[in-house]
Structure 1
């Protein structure tokens, strides 16, 4: 199909108005602090009005290596995603098999899961939990345009996961760090996930956002005080606004819809990352609280 025809197909999509939060222009100490039921960033951010295209009527159009994301159907055996033991026991194995099928990878290993909800988490945010781990819990929807890894974090994650999961493996020539996302609340969801066509972003608008998992948020100058070795710590990639960014979402996702998108692909000859964030969808009536589950992992090509 000619590129012009592809462009025409995408331009037929319904558009939803949205505010997407981006890092402002300028130099900032950029950090993401995560605690029980709450997350916060340092730096200065601004909401930019954008149009998010509804990809659901065009769902078969999208390709992981072209757009950086793909939507698929998958029936899960998990009856209740709030049943932590059941999710731990079975869901990650489902995801590994599905991602292997969708990517053609030789091996897939997952790294944990997280539920996100647009519902009220204010009481949970007040809990004081020593040694809180950002896995297997409940957090709010993501608040800004980001990719969960920067390059160094992705490289290290792939090497660590492969060594742990496949100690006798022959090694890998390519890896894809990914998220497999599923909403399990009825649609339409009030704060769905938006994904950005990875071809429309560049390194020029990026910054690293270092992750700090804490029991309590620092205050005042402690939020941005120098930390030795911070450039070697786990960090995400965040983005500054550019008008060419092309955002998509899939309205009224059902429980058997899954969205696979890239944090980082070591093969940069294809679309290798997918910025994403939640947005408030005001385009559909009777929107409901969003509940979703994300599983992170790495697909390996040997």
Structure 2
């Protein structure tokens, strides 16, 4: 059956600034600590048209666009209750992802809460609680720059490591997909939703590595560029502005919906990665509400 892409041109649009990487230092690092995320790179706002896919949700596919909005009912009553999320939600997500992709095995890589509102200060003056910070299961601000949480050259080795952990003695895998399962649990319309970029509009040669460093305290000044073992760390991909990028979001997301999108698909013959960014949506100025969301990262294996 032929796919009619002309319906995309009839979608409602909104205008917003998306932050892309600007010319700057050769060393790109992302330092994260409790409630804080700082990049060494400089980002600048580019006016961008973002299309609303709400009325054509069935049009989108993982192979073509790299993302889909799913009906994803949840039994979680309190997403801020860490034990409930830890004990139940990750397994719930894995089942949704397994069904959506048709994978054989899905393994959770952890979760994170994000908010567009204020983040409460911790007990101590420096914002910590006296324990080493883990970038997992906490509350962070909305990620406001165009990025993908994985950098392509490092993913196969990482996938093999995770497969051995998830399936010790397993038969091996032919394909893997790293993805994010993103759900808002605050009422709509949210003031700072997530925009995703059509995978077909992203060139394979785009993206600059941005090395992730999880720290107890964010370094300052020259210390941000000090020698570090960047090659041994996980990295994201960050993007410079490309006017060909085609952006989408789904307005008014409810808590029983989830946006599932690819970070990295080892099958590059299909839509294999999706840049994304939060943005301030001015479509509903009188009724918009603080966005609270939970993201769960998974890796899916096809044996």
Does the 8 Å contact 2:133/2:216 carry over to 1? yes
Query: Using the alignment, how far apart are the partners of 1:238 and 1:13 within structure 2?
Result: 27
Q: Secondary structure at the match of 1:66?
A: coil
Which deviates further from its counterpart, 185-194 or 23-32?
A: 23-32
Does the 8 Å contact 2:113/2:293 carry over to 1? yes
For residue 138 of structure 1, what is the aligned residue in structure 2?
139
Query: Using the alignment, how far apart are the partners of 1:218 and 1:133 within structure 2?
Result: 16
Q: Secondary structure at the match of 2:134?
A: coil
Query: Using the alignment, how far apart are the partners of 1:157 and 1:111 within structure 2?
Result: 11
For residue 113 of structure 2, what is the aligned residue in structure 1?
115
For residue 165 of structure 2, what is the aligned residue in structure 1?
164
1:187-212, CA deviations, whole angstroms, 9 ceiling, x for partnerless residues?
A: 00000000000111124431000000
For residue 216 of structure 2, what is the aligned residue in structure 1?
215
Count of residues paired in the alignment: 299
Runs of 4+ in 1 over 6 A off after TM superposition: none
CA positional deviation for 1:122? 5.6
Query: Using the alignment, how far apart are the partners of 1:230 and 1:206 within structure 2?
Result: 17
CA positional deviation for 1:25? 3.5
> Cα RMSD over matched residues?
1.5
Does the 8 Å contact 2:24/2:41 carry over to 1? no
For residue 233 of structure 1, what is the aligned residue in structure 2?
233
Structure 1 length-normalised TM: 0.95
Structure 1, unmatched stretches of 5+, are none
Judged with a 3 Å threshold, the aligned counterparts in structure 2 of structure 1 residues 248 and 43 are, in CA distance, closer, same or farther, namely same
Q: Secondary structure at the match of 1:205?
A: coil
For residue 294 of structure 1, what is the aligned residue in structure 2?
295
1:206-250, CA deviations, whole angstroms, 9 ceiling, x for partnerless residues?
A: 1000000011111110111222x4134210000000100000000
Does the 8 Å contact 2:213/2:233 carry over to 1? no
1:134-169, CA deviations, whole angstroms, 9 ceiling, x for partnerless residues?
A: 001110111100000001332233112211111021
Query: Using the alignment, how far apart are the partners of 2:204 and 2:185 within structure 1?
Result: 34
Structure 2, unmatched stretches of 5+, are none
Structure 2 length-normalised TM: 0.95
Query: Using the alignment, how far apart are the partners of 1:243 and 1:94 within structure 2?
Result: 38
Give the number of the structure whose residues are more often helix, by fraction.
Answer: 1
Does the 8 Å contact 1:266/1:272 carry over to 2? yes
